[in-house]
């Protein structure tokens, strides 16, 4: 692989430079400053994509939390840690660790975040997906937890935390057809809440939200002189109701040979417990002059 040329600093608004090179790695660094902003980054970038990369970054901006991150690994397996120095008013510092990777058609991840100053907030998310030709299967779980019981009364509880768990499973399909593609999917969401467990509770109180099932189908591709896009969705909230929606668009470039664009869009939505709504719009854009 040919070495990348050093940037011309006279043409950059950012101080960007090459730290060193070796047979296996390049060392890169960057320092960027602006009104109220400061960003620094450094990385060991492998010339062989099978070798791991190491990168660190720090970012500061007035009115936003300071951020520092570390990333080590490759597409096969990567570990990263992110630290956010948040104000006490929004829970204080938060740390997030992520492990992700993939091999062949399979990809997966595991992520954990902690914020002790926000009622000892903890979040965990993990999942994976596998692609088999035109079919993609995926599943993931997200769980958030906080210590919600006042410390003065904690001795009256076996478990003082409130947890919310959401599980998602689904299937997506993309099937090429002539000059376009048929798309579709089905997904299911399960949500459970776990309440604090009192001293005399035999089990931890739980509550199950209505399961939500979503269906989608669509088409995108060339039809006549333009491109057509259609998407229909149905959301079924168990024992509550269903929500239906349809969106469509049709775009034609260089209509009448004038270089313009004709765009027609429309939508229909029937929400749960609400009124149906329909929208349609026809727009024609014609560009004048030779500017970009």
Residues 262-290 pLDDT 10s: 899 999 999 998 899 999 999 988 766 55
H or E segment at 124?
strand 121-132
Indicate if the pLDDT at residue 98 is higher than 90: yes
Task: Quote the CA–CA distance of 44 and 55 in Å, as a whole number.
Answer: 6
Percentage, residues of the chain above pLDDT 90: 66
pLDDT for residue 34: 84
pLDDT for residue 65: 87
Task: Quote the CA–CA distance of 120 and 246 in Å, as a whole number.
Answer: 43
The DSSP output letter for 5 is P
Q: Which residue has the higher pLDDT, 88 or 92?
A: 92
| In a domain? residue 107 | no
Domain with 64 in it = 11-85
Burial class from Cβ neighbours inside 10 Å (0-12, 13-18, 19+) for residue 224 reads exposed
| In a domain? residue 225 | no
Which of 30-34, 50-54, 65-69, 144-148 has the highest average model confidence (pLDDT)? 144-148
Task: Quote the CA–CA distance of 262 and 282 in Å, as a whole number.
Answer: 8
pLDDT for residue 270: 94
Q: What mean pLDDT value characterizes the chain?
A: 88
pLDDT for residue 292: 46
Task: Quote the CA–CA distance of 44 and 51 in Å, as a whole number.
Answer: 10
Task: Quote the CA–CA distance of 214 and 224 in Å, as a whole number.
Answer: 31
| In a domain? residue 37 | yes
Number of domains in the chain: 1
**DSSP 3-state of 154:** helix
Cα dihedral 171, 177, 181, 185 in deg (nearest 10)? -20
| In a domain? residue 196 | no
Cα-trace Rg, the chain: 26
In the predicted model, what is the mean pLDDT of residues 145-166? 96
| In a domain? residue 19 | yes
| In a domain? residue 234 | no
Taking alpha carbons only, the member of 183, 92, 89 closest to residue 136 is 183
**Most distant CA pair in the chain: distance in Å?**
79
Q: Which residue has the higher pLDDT, 21 or 57?
A: 57
Taking alpha carbons only, the member of 234, 217, 214 closest to residue 181 is 217
Task: Quote the CA–CA distance of 282 and 249 in Å, as a whole number.
Answer: 10
The DSSP output letter for 98 is E
Pairing of strands 37-46, 53-61: antiparallel
100-122: burial string, b at 16+ Cβ within 10 Å, e else: bbbeeeebbbebebebeebbebb
* Alpha-carbon separation of residue 210 from 168, 215, 243 (angstroms): 13, 16, 14
Indicate if the pLDDT at residue 6 is higher than 60: no
Indicate if the pLDDT at residue 18 is higher than 50: no
Q: Which residue has the higher pLDDT, 181 or 90?
A: 181
| In a domain? residue 183 | no
What's the pLDDT tens digit per position in 153-162? 999 999 999 9
| In a domain? residue 56 | yes
pLDDT for residue 21: 54
- Reported as half-sphere exposure (CB side, CA atoms, 13 A), residue 102 has a value of 11
Q: What tokens appear for 151 in the block?
A: 């410390």
Q: What tokens appear for 176 in the block?
A: 């090429």
* Alpha-carbon separation of residue 116 from 10, 25, 92, 94, 125 (angstroms): 46, 38, 8, 8, 18
Task: Quote the CA–CA distance of 288 and 238 in Å, as a whole number.
Answer: 53
pLDDT for residue 22: 60
Torsion 166-167-171-174 (CA) sign: positive
What's the pLDDT tens digit per position in 212-246? 999 999 999 999 889 999 999 999 999 999 999 99
């Amino acid at each position: 692989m040919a070495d990348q040329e050093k940037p011309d600093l006279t043409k950059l608004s950012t101080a960007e430079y090459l730290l060193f090179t070796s047979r296996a790695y390049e060392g890169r660094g960057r320092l960027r400053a602006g009104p109220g902003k400061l960003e620094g980054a450094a990385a060991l970038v492998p010339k062989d994509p099978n070798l791991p990369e190491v990168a660190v970054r720090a970012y500061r901006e007035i009115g936003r939390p300071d951020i520092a991150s570390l990333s080590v690994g490759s597409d096969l397996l990567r570990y990263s840690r992110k630290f956010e120095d948040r104000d006490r008013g929004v829970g204080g510092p938060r740390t997030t660790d992520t492990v992700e990777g993939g091999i062949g058609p399979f990809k997966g991840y595991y992520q954990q975040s902690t914020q002790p100053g926000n009622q000892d907030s903890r979040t965990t998310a993990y999942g994976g997906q596998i692609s088999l030709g035109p079919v993609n299967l995926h599943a993931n779980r997200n769980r958030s937890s906080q210590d919600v019981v006042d410390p003065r009364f904690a001795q009256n509880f076996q478990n003082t935390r409130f947890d919310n768990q959401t599980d998602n499973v689904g299937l997506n399909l993309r099937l090429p057809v002539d000059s376009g593609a048929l798309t579709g999917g089905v997904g299911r969401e399960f949500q459970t809440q776990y309440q604090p467990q009192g001293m005399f509770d035999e089990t931890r109180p739980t509550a199950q939200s209505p399961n939500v099932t979503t269906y989608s189908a669509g088409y995108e591709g060339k039809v006549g002189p333009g491109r057509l896009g259609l998407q229909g969705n149905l959301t079924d909230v168990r024992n509550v109701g269903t929500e239906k929606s349809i969106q469509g668009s049709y775009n034609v470039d260089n209509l009448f040979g004038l270089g313009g664009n004709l765009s027609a869009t429309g939508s229909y939505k029937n929400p749960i417990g609400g009124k149906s709504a329909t929208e349609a719009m026809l727009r024609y854009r014609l560009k004048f002059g030779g500017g970009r």
